[in-house]
């Protein structure tokens, strides 16, 4: 089975970066409990405290679907929406990695 990789880049509305981190906390906590979520990292830009991205790797399509379709994800969407100025999601498959189970 092919693993699923995702990179999501998003920018909080001006000055709302800390609120965005707080709103993402339930997703981070949930990802830590999901056996099929192999990597879930939230990162913040050093140059712009309102710019963030996640790096995610899922064991397979089913694990990605379980994360994407979770109750926590559904509850997060209406909370995150008003905090975001922009967002972009790229979905693919990992080709090479260090420190990620293969």
Give 60's DSSP letter: S
d(CA 38, CA 31) in angstroms, rounded, equals: 9
pLDDT digits (tens, 9 = 90+) for 25-51: 999 999 999 999 999 999 999 999 999
Cβ atoms of 50 and 17 within 8 Å: the answer is: yes
pLDDT of residue 99: 82
Structural domains present in the chain: 4-92 (3.30.70.100)
Comparing CA positions, the residue from 83, 94, 97, 30 lying closest to residue 59 is 94
Q: How confident is the model at residue 102 (pLDDT cuts 50, 70, 90)?
A: low
């Amino acid at each position: 089975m092919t693993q699923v990789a995702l990179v999501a880049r998003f920018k909080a509305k001006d000055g709302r970066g800390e609120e965005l981190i707080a709103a993402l906390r339930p997703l981070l906590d949930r990802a830590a409990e999901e056996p099929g979520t192999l990597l879930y990292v939230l990162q913040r830009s050093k140059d712009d405290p309102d710019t963030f991205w996640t790096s995610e790797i899922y064991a397979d399509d089913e694990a990605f679907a379980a994360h994407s379709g979770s109750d926590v994800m559904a509850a997060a969407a209406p909370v995150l929406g008003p905090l975001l100025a922009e967002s972009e999601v790229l979905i693919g498959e990992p080709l090479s990695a260090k420190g990620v189970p293969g």
